Structure 1
């Protein structure tokens, strides 16, 4: 008789030795720095006469935040639908873009992402599911992410990813690439703005806005998919979380039809705006950066429409 797996929220001990500090930084410390940076920048801008705070700085910050959120979702959405569930194939430009977007979104090594999600689909909402909200909503949101079982991280790369050079390079050099994107590149931008006599205050506000938006997207995804996606929620909450996650939070169909490039029907402007992770895959297909996209039957163009 096969033994029932121990619930992960019980099996994994909560102690300093099992804390994954990279995840703690991505999920807690870095978001806190972004919010603190925004508060500090606007406070100093209002309080100090030597700093110029224009009315359009917050508007531009909101725009940069929105763009950052969408970029992060493009990374996670394509990773989830194509590299996880094999809903198509990506050519080199789309692979590189997706990998960089995943680095911006701080998703960690792709082999670990795919292995955890594969476990989730095998044991969804049962003992052994890495983030089962029926065990603990807090565990499904944050606990599984910051307390790790070393055995989970030692699992090899999934067979279908082993031949993808982009995945191999990203995972092999993930720490270095992350430092370049999140530390070196911002430092270069600050130095360039300073050398050209631009506004360092504005630069700092935009940087903090991008960091904060990444945090909003990060937590909307793990809350919207891992927790609320497996519970009964109001329709308005589904749509709000869908906007913040690029359509990933439309989760009611996903375990029945996991292999789908779209999470809403192909036709309809609102569908394509709400499910913009699917829309970017359709754009990739038009650019010939993606091919063999698979779409769940309920989201495909009906035959009578396609023939008209």
Structure 2
């Protein structure tokens, strides 16, 4: 009997109890996004009902722009985590590693050790028993069940050997909760304090902060719902490209499973390819800036040089 047939589906094997319930994931997936929606709603209602509060028309494009920028920033973090640190598609120098790590913190991806170990299992048992988020077992489980209920054995797995000696990853992973609290709570509090003491506009500050929180939530669920669930089913091409914009090109999931060790998910040439696969584009830029090297590109996506 094969290994996969001997494994009980994860959605059934992992107990659903408070003992193994991950409150950090609950906060990241639902409570924190709710705070962003509450903040956005409070700012808009205050502007509509209070004469002392002014809402200007240009706040709307600012909100949309901040949401889009946050989605981009979060994806750059996940792109590096996924393509480089997980699948070893290349090497990043320290400055590029710091950029990726800060963006991973903004994206609230949790422990790098656990992220990579879970994703390794996903590739090992893709869409079979043993896959941490197999949508063919349960779409709800593949969306958020697997991050809300954790198996202690999963969390006890060590840091993958190829990252064990990476100082930036090791230090940030060890202090993840502290660093995440600084990024998502202390830093915004400092900004609010500076704006208040300077007599600035707290409403636009609140709108921008809420936009960052909402943008992070959009990217988060575009990944865990859009890729983990929809990405494993037959979907219209337009929908895949729409998800690609929300995930930096990670939504080209069939290609990724065929060519996991590729820094690009679309051909290197072509303006729109570089737009829809902007995670890959970012790393090509890092390579040009000599902040990255030794990238692997799937043969069908590499630049084909004309014969002399």
Q: Structure 1 length normalisation: TM-score? A: 0.97
Q: Which residue of 2 aligns with 1:100?
A: 102
- Separation of aligned partners in 2, 1:206 and 1:254: 34
Q: Which residue of 1 aligns with 2:78?
A: 76
Deviations 1:162-204 (A, max 9, x none): 1111110111110110111001100110011111111011100
Aligned partner of 2:244 among 223, 242, 245: 242
Q: Which residue of 1 aligns with 2:209?
A: 207
Instruction: For residue 253 of structure 1, report the CA deviation from its aligned partner.
Output: 1.3
- Separation of aligned partners in 2, 1:225 and 1:169: 29
- Separation of aligned partners in 1, 2:21 and 2:294: 40
- Separation of aligned partners in 2, 1:237 and 1:71: 22
Range with greater deviation from structure 2 (86-95 or 147-156): 147-156
Q: Give the ranges of 4+ consecutive aligned residues of structure 1 lying more than 3 Å apart after TM superposition.
A: none
Instruction: For residue 58 of structure 1, report the CA deviation from its aligned partner.
Output: 1.6
SS at 2:228 equivalent: helix
The correspondence of residues 1-308 of structure 1 with structure 2, limited to 5 A, is 1=1, 2=3, 4-304=6-306
SS at 2:88 equivalent: coil
- Separation of aligned partners in 2, 1:298 and 1:138: 35
Instruction: For residue 267 of structure 1, report the CA deviation from its aligned partner.
Output: 0.4
SS at 2:229 equivalent: helix
Deviations 1:77-134 (A, max 9, x none): 1110000000000000000110010000000010000000000000000001000000
SS at 2:210 equivalent: helix
Instruction: For residue 13 of structure 1, report the CA deviation from its aligned partner.
Output: 1.3
Number of equivalenced pairs: 306
- Separation of aligned partners in 2, 1:229 and 1:64: 26
Instruction: For residue 224 of structure 1, report the CA deviation from its aligned partner.
Output: 2.1
Instruction: For residue 8 of structure 1, report the CA deviation from its aligned partner.
Output: 0.3
SS at 2:147 equivalent: helix
SS at 1:107 equivalent: coil
- Unaligned runs of 5+ residues in structure 2 are none
- Separation of aligned partners in 2, 1:197 and 1:267: 49
Range with greater deviation from structure 2 (210-219 or 8-17): 8-17
- Separation of aligned partners in 2, 1:67 and 1:146: 28
- Separation of aligned partners in 2, 1:225 and 1:85: 17
- Separation of aligned partners in 2, 1:234 and 1:240: 10
SS at 2:173 equivalent: helix
